[in-house]
Chains A and B, each alone.
Chain A
Amino acid sequence: MDLIKPDFGLVFWSLITFVILLFVLRKFAWKPILGAVEDREEGIKSALASAENARKEMENLKADNERILQEARSEREALLKEAREIKAKIIADAEEDAQAKASKMIEQAQAAIESEKKAAMAELKNHVAGLSLEIAEKVVREELSNKDKQLQLVESMLGEATLN
């Protein structure tokens, strides 16, 4: 039956036409169209990717900020703490120093007072000795001018001496 017998002429023309159509369309239609479609898809994909990247970067940035803030906060805390410690130490040191100085000064003052006292005492002794001698001289003189009195004195002295 010739319904299913391929006609030579039609096969010939079909093959030629199809091959020419294939090459023409490939060069002038499919290449630009597919290229454009792919370019667009690529563009969309890269845009999405860059958006995603930007989002991630943003997140990173935020996290960084947070971290930095946290760090700054803790650093400040540490600084404050240190400062407080230093302050306390300085105060303590100063107190101690002052204490030491004060006690030293007091000591010095005491020492000075002591030496002054000693000196004063020595002077006083000297003075008292001088005065005593003078008095004694005066008294003796007076006493020696008066015989009775001399005797009395000798007597009292002797009496005292025996008593001692």
Chain B
Amino acid sequence: MKKTTRKQKRPLLAILILAVILIVLSVISIGIGALYISPDAVVTNLLGLDHSFEFIIQQYRLPRIILAILAGAGLAAAGAILQGVIRNPLASPDVVGISKGSGLAAMAVILIFPESPVYVLPFSAFAGAAIIAVLLLMIARKKSIQPSSLALSGIALGAVCHAGMQYMMVKFPGDVNAALIWLTGSLWGRNWEEVKLLAPWLLILFPIVCILIPKLDLMSLGDELAQGLGENANRLRFILIFTAVALAGSCVAVVGSIGFIGLLAPHIARRLTGEKAKYLLPASALIGAIILLIADTLGRGIMPPVEIPAGILTAVIGAPYFLYLLKFEARKQ
């Protein structure tokens, strides 16, 4: 810890640079897809001076980019909160079972009720995440529970959900392909309707996260210190986990259970800004948005007209980088 402060990180500058990168990437991303649109054409189309690509930009690319930014930021922020609360660097929406819960619910809809209307899927996915969250919080409410056992409970709940998914795939072999694509996470076919579905949630949740930021720093000091400073540690943990679950659940409901972002983004952010939550959280959110935006843009652009689901690319980019991070951390110690 001392080492990092001595290195004189400049967290505000880092956040600013990340924001600029995100904006530049968004403009580039508008141009990439089955039809290439040059950056100057993108700008003239956005300004309304040119209408040649208006339909594609307005109908397909813009909503996807906005959704990638929102969902990436939401998942990353959820990961950063969970890592702070559980005090475990491996905590993330995937690890504590939230993604698995929504995956199980989504799979049930896709495989058992394939005729159900379109809007059922996101709501049931969110419900799945919520059920897991409630179970997790029931365990967390018990006094004096250790954060590590919270992580283990999450892993156990996730394993049960995973078993359920495997069972369904064998028992209802209908459209396993669609179910798998959902599980991987993809922004294909998403448009303004999904943006409208997700944006209100995040508009409520992000301000709540901002209010909670100072508390998150307290939690990372440990229960006893937090209590000594006048906080009810259990209640605080309850609120923070609830917020993280709501964030992750709403994002997963719309884009599917995209992995690695919630785990990876906070780790990268920590290297840039240090541990302080007021810098760490916004930086994580920006990095999460950047990762998902890159993944979705690459998925569109690598082998058109075939799309590669964004979730596959986050895993392909994420897994090796995470291994590198682990090695780096080990060396530091």
Real complex partners, A and B?
no
Binding site for A on B (CB under 8 A): none
**Which residues on A are within 8 Å of B, measured CB to CB?**
none
